[in-house]
C-alpha cells in the first residue's frame, strides 16, 4: 500500500511517463518515444479536477508541453508558440510573433528525405529547434491574437500536425506538464522481436 500510494503521488503531482503516438513532433520526438513529463513545472494541480492550487511557473515560448485540447480527453504534445497576448502570424510557412519574423535556416548536409520533407532550424526568440516542412503541401496563412489564459500550440512537423490551427487555443487549465526528457524508444512488440 505505501508503494502504491507513493507511485500515485509521483504520477499525480511530480512526473509521469507518456509515449509519443504520432509524427506531429518530428524531428524533435519520434513515434514510439517515451518521454518524462514534469507535472509541477507550471504549478501543482489537483488530480482529475486539474485545478491549479500552487502557481510556480508559466509556459514559455518554445517549451514542449503536454495538454488536453479543447473538448478532447486525449493527451497531446506540441510546442508552445504563442503565450497570452501574443499576435501570431503564419505567412508562407514562416512564423511571425508580435510582428517579428522567427528565422528559419536549412540544416547543413540534410537533403530532402523520402517524404519530401525539408529539415530546418527555427529560432523562437533565443531558443532554436528543428522543424520539418513538406515541399508539396501548401499551408494557409493566418493571423491570430492569443487570448488571456490561453496558449497557441504547433507541432514541429509543421505540415503534418493537428494543433492550434485545427482545435484552437489551449486553455491554461488543460495543461498537464512540460516534456523534459526522452527516456526510451519502443514502437511496438513487433519491433522488439524484429531482426535487422
Nearest to 149 by CA among 175, 127, 131, 171: 171
Catalytic residue check, 23 = no
Residue of 141, 128, 146, 135 whose CA lies nearest to 94:
141
Pairing of strands 15-19, 117-124: unpaired
The H helix count followed by the E strand count for the chain is: 3, 16
CA atoms within 13 A on the CB side of 95: 29
Nearest in space to 65 (alpha carbons), one of 37, 27, 44, 105: 37
- Using alpha carbons, select from 31, 145, 135 the residue that is nearest to residue 81: 145
Candidates 12, 22, 23, 24; catalytic one? 24
Closest CA to 155 of 188, 184, 117, 183: 117
Distance, CA of 194 to CA of 41 (rounded, Å): 38
Reduced to 3 states, what is the DSSP secondary structure of residue 140?
A: coil
Task: Tell me which of 39, 73, 78, 161 is the catalytic residue.
Answer: 78
Say whether 60 is catalytic.
Answer: no
Active site residues: 24, 78
Amino acid at each position: 500500500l505505501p508503494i502504491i500510494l507513493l507511485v500515485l503521488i509521483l504520477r499525480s503531482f511530480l512526473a509521469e511517463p507518456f509515449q509519443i503516438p504520432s509524427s506531429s513532433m518530428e524531428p524533435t520526438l519520434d513515434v514510439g518515444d517515451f518521454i518524462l513529463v514534469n507535472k509541477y513545472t507550471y504549478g501543482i494541480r489537483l488530480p482529475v479536477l486539474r485545478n491549479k492550487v500552487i502557481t510556480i511557473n508559466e509556459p514559455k515560448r518554445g517549451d514542449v508541453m503536454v495538454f488536453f485540447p479543447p473538448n478532447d480527453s486525449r493527451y497531446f504534445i506540441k510546442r508552445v508558440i504563442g503565450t497570452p497576448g501574443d499576435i501570431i502570424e503564419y505567412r508562407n510557412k514562416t512564423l511571425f510573433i508580435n510582428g517579428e519574423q522567427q528565422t528559419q535556416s536549412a540544416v547543413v548536409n540534410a537533403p530532402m528525405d523520402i517524404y519530401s520533407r525539408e529539415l530546418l532550424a527555427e529560432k523562437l526568440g533565443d531558443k532554436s529547434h528543428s522543424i520539418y516542412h513538406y515541399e508539396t503541401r501548401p499551408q494557409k496563412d493566418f493571423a491570430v491574437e492569443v487570448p488571456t489564459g490561453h496558449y497557441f500550440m504547433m507541432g514541429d512537423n509543421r505540415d503534418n500536425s493537428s494543433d492550434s490551427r485545427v482545435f484552437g487555443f489551449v486553455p491554461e487549465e488543460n495543461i498537464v506538464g512540460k516534456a523534459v526528457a526522452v527516456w526510451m524508444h519502443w514502437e511496438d512488440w513487433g519491433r522488439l522481436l524484429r531482426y535487422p
